[in-house]
Structure 1
Amino acid sequence: MRAEDYDWAIYHVITRAKGCTVEDICEMSSYSLEIVEESLNRLSKQLLIEYRGDLYRACSIEHFMISNQMKHDPLSQIIIENGVVKVRDPGNKKKPGDSGREV
């Protein structure tokens, strides 16, 4: 299978469960831990899912749109840190290629 096919299937597992652990995703999808972790990384980078606590959840449309706007706006001083929207510290300048998200 292609990576996109795994991502599609895993994304739908997450949306049906309204949040689940890696182990839950492996069990519900029947995919190996390695495949699931790789897919979760890709889905997170595309801002389609978020990891909070020990659960993966699908991002809302609003969260997705705001995150992408911050990621692609070179002048944005807004970040999302631990699920909280904040104004970037003036001493912490945004660099080219910075996603606007801090972990």
Structure 2
Amino acid sequence: MTFRPLHDRILVRRIEAEEKTAGGIIIPDTAKEKPQEGEVIAAGAGARDDTGQLQPLDVKVGDRILFGKWSGTEIRLNGEDFLIMKESDVMGVIEAEVKAKTAA
């Protein structure tokens, strides 16, 4: 089964949090919080403004995003858990840093 979000909605797969702290302490499943980071799997075309013009989304498939703790609706597709949320629930896109190499 495939899923295509409509309007300004996106389909997100949660990115699981680390099971160890920086100090090496293992966090049990009962103490873990749901991750607030995810990857955009599918995105709608965008919302229409008051004049009927299509406003494209700022996020795209493959983006790594941060979202609110209670954002979205949980669904299960093909045995996998996802979230459906509006683009306005997204707090930001995590961008990879590109380090410039300096010649020695």
TM-score range, shorter chain: under 0.3
TM-score for the superposition, normalised by structure 2: 0.24
- Greater length-normalized contact order (CA 8 Å, ≥ 6 residues apart): 2
Query: Higher strand fraction: Structure 1 or Structure 2?
Result: 2
Structure 1 length-normalised TM: 0.24
Q: Which is higher, the Rg of structure 1 or of structure 2?
A: 2
Higher helix share: 1
